[in-house]
Amino acid sequence: MENVVLVIHLILALSLIGTVLLQRSEGGGLGMGGGGGGGATGGRPAPTAMSKVTWILAIAFICTSIALTLISASNSANSSVVDRVDTEATEETTVPDLGESLLPPSNDDAPLIPSAD
């Protein structure tokens, strides 16, 4: 279930990015130059089909975000980090027997080096 919602969420995110990038810039960024006229419409253009699609995708994206949050919270509600640490600490770890092959050689095992007398 979580994977299905996650895939839908990713598709919505990519679609939302695409629709925002495809929209025509209306100028007047940061509120500059949008005044003039005053009129009955208030200087705001009528919504286009692209802006309606953007709103629908944005609402769907928010809904899937909330759904993923709720799914994640319900999955983690039954376990605690402290419980997981306690169970890992109580498990015994066994050290493999490496034998004497990794021990440094003793004096008895040292090779005889002929002296250069």
Per-10-residue mean pLDDT, the chain, length 117: 93 96 73 54 73 94 96 79 65 62 64 65
Query: Residues 80, 84, 85, 86: what is their CA dihedral angle, to the nearest 10 degrees?
Result: 100
The Cβ-side half-sphere exposure at 47, using a 13 Å CA radius, reads 8
Q: What is the pLDDT of residue 88?
A: 60
Q: What is the pLDDT of residue 24?
A: 79
Q: What is the pLDDT of residue 62?
A: 97
Q: What is the pLDDT of residue 20?
A: 92
CA atoms of 77 and 71, how far apart (whole Å):
10
Q: Based on C-alpha coordinates, what's the Rg of the chain?
A: 34
Q: Which two tokens stand for residue 23?
A: 């929209």
Name residues whose C-beta falls within 8 Å of residue 72's C-beta, 6 or more positions apart in sequence.
2
Q: What is the pLDDT of residue 30?
A: 57
- The pTM score is 0.55
> Which residue in this structure is represented by tokens 């640490």?
85
